[in-house]
Structure formats: C-alpha cells, structure tokens
Amino acid sequence: MTEVRPRSIFRSNIVRAMKVTAASRSAWFFAAVWLASVLVLIVGGHSVPVAGIAVGLVLLLLSLLVTGATKPAPAVIAVAGQARRRVWVQLGLAGVFIVLTGWNNLAFHNVVAGSADIPLWTPLVEGLQRAGEQWFGEGLGTFVSNPVTYVLIPLVVLLLAGARLPTLGFARGHRVGRALLICCAIPLVWFAYTLISGQQTIVRLLGSFASDFMQNGFLEEFLFRGLLQTRLRLLVGPGWAVALQALVFGVWHLGSGFTSTGHAGLLPAIAITIVQQSLLGLSLGILFERTRNLLVPSVVHIAVNSM
C-alpha cells in the first residue's frame, strides 16, 4: 500500500482549491466587481489604496495555504420548504442588523447627521455608549455599544428565529491550530520587531488587542461570517456565500470610504471600500469556511487591525 505523504496532501488540497476557484462563477463575479471598483477610482482621479490591497493579497495567499492544511467543509445539505423559509427570515434579520450597524458606522464618520436618527435604535446605541464611557472612560463608549449591537442582540434574535448556536460560528473548529500557525506567523514577527525596536511596549500592544476585540475583531466576524455567511451558505452554497459576504463587508465600511475619498460622492466611497475591505472580507470568509468556527478569522482580524 502506497503511503500518502503530508506534503503531497497539502499540495493536492491547494491545487484542488485553485481549480474549484477558477471554475467558480462566484469567484469571477467577485473579481469583476473588484476590478470595476479599481477602475472607478482610477477614472475618478482617486488614489488606489495600494497598502490595503497588498495586505489583502497577503491574506489571500495565507488563506490559500490554509486550504492546503485543511479539508473542505461538508457539503451543504439542501434546505427546502418551511426550513428554507426560516433561513430566509434569518438572513433578512441578519441584513437588518448589518444595515443598522452600518448606519452607526456612517454616523461615527459624520456622514449622516443627527436628524437622520433611527427610532428606538439610535437612542439605544447612544445610551449604551454613555454607559460605556462611564465604565471605561471618555471616547470608549463603543466598548459597550458594539458588543451589544453587533453580537448580543443579533444573536438572541437569530436564536429566537430558529438558528442554532453551532451553525453561527460556534461549532467545533477544524485544524484551528494549523491555520493559526500559518496566518499568525507574519503578524507575530512584526509584533516582535516593534517590541524589540522599542516602537511600542507590551502594555500598548495588549491594549490594542483588547480594544480591537471589544470594538471590531470578533464582533465583525460574528456579524459577517457567523451570521451572514452561514445563512447565505445554506441558501446559495459556500462559494457564493464567501463572495457575497465579502462584498457586503466592504460596503459596510462606507463611512471610512467617504473619509478616504474626501466625501467625493457615493460611488467612489463604495469603490474604495470594495477595493480595500472586501479583500480582507474574502480572506476571512475563506478562513471561516475552512476552519468552520470564528476563532481563526477573529484572531487574524484583530492581528491585522493591530499592525
């Protein structure tokens, strides 16, 4: 009996993933939207975020390496009838929370005025932010408002709508340790360099990790990979789920898109978020698909934001 070497398995997994991607309509759709967004920026005379693209491409390469160290997730079990309608309801609820939190993002970047408040939601967010500032200090209100509005409320609502906790990114992971070793090697080297060179202290670095965990990293991973990607996967399959959630993740950062383009208009703001943020969303979506829980994409998200 011929022994199968781990190296050959690793290589065959990557080759298989590349072949599947090359034949995937969802991959070509994502590429077309991304390239069109680059073209919008160039034609409009806006700077293309080269550094952000470079980070995204590196993460895509790392996610490709992770495919070599993992096996594909089990095939999607087709849902039909009442179960399919239930998933559509869950997807709609997830979409509501993505829109609401995206609106908060626009307000944070001063894109929308106070007159555009959303009844019930805006007072809730403002109350949570005031509580956060009382507990954690001035300017740290999102330490309370973000966990509650990104995770706690959506999680409760989705569970009440029939979703199960393991299907929302809290299932047992697959090859999590290997994936973390692959994805965190570069960030660890960078953090070690900044500590050794005196560019930052261990206290500041740990504070950055904690801050991003409380405001962005895990919270956004739950919202987009745990809620959105898992619901889409049940309805349209893993390929389209990864591509669509990545594009939505990009557009969700519209507030920073307006800031980056100098409030030049809606189209360039959308374009720059897709060009930069959707690459990150794509990579994190692949990591989530291959490792099957939120740990790896959350750690990678926090590490990237802290670099």
- In a domain, residue 7? The reply is no
Q: What are phi and psi of 100, to 5 degrees?
A: -65, -45
75 pLDDT band, cuts 50/70/90, is: confident
Q: Residue 198 in 3-state DSSP?
A: coil
Most confident of 16-20, 73-77, 231-235: 231-235
114 pLDDT band, cuts 50/70/90, is: low
* Alpha-carbon gap, residue 4 to 218, rounded angstroms: 37
pTM for this prediction: 0.93
Please count the other Cβ atoms lying within 10 Å of the Cβ belonging to residue 5.
9
What residue numbers bound the domain in which 279 lies? 12-306
- In a domain, residue 2? The reply is no
What is the reported pLDDT for 1? 45
| Of 33-37, 216-220, 271-275, the least confident | 216-220
* Total structural domains within the chain: 1
- In a domain, residue 91? The reply is yes
pLDDT at 5 exceeding the cut of 70: no
- In a domain, residue 76? The reply is yes
- In a domain, residue 1? The reply is no
- In a domain, residue 36? The reply is yes
- In a domain, residue 62? The reply is yes
The H or E element spanning position 68 is helix 50-68
**Of all residues in the chain, what percent carry a pLDDT higher than 70?**
97
**pLDDT tens-digit map of 218-273:** 999 999 999 999 999 999 999 999 999 999 999 999 999 999 998 889 999 999 99
Burial of 71 (0-12, 13-18, 19+ CB in 10 A): exposed
Alpha-helix runs per DSSP H in 197-237: 202-215, 217-221, 230-236
**DSSP 8-state secondary structure symbol assigned to residue 140:** -
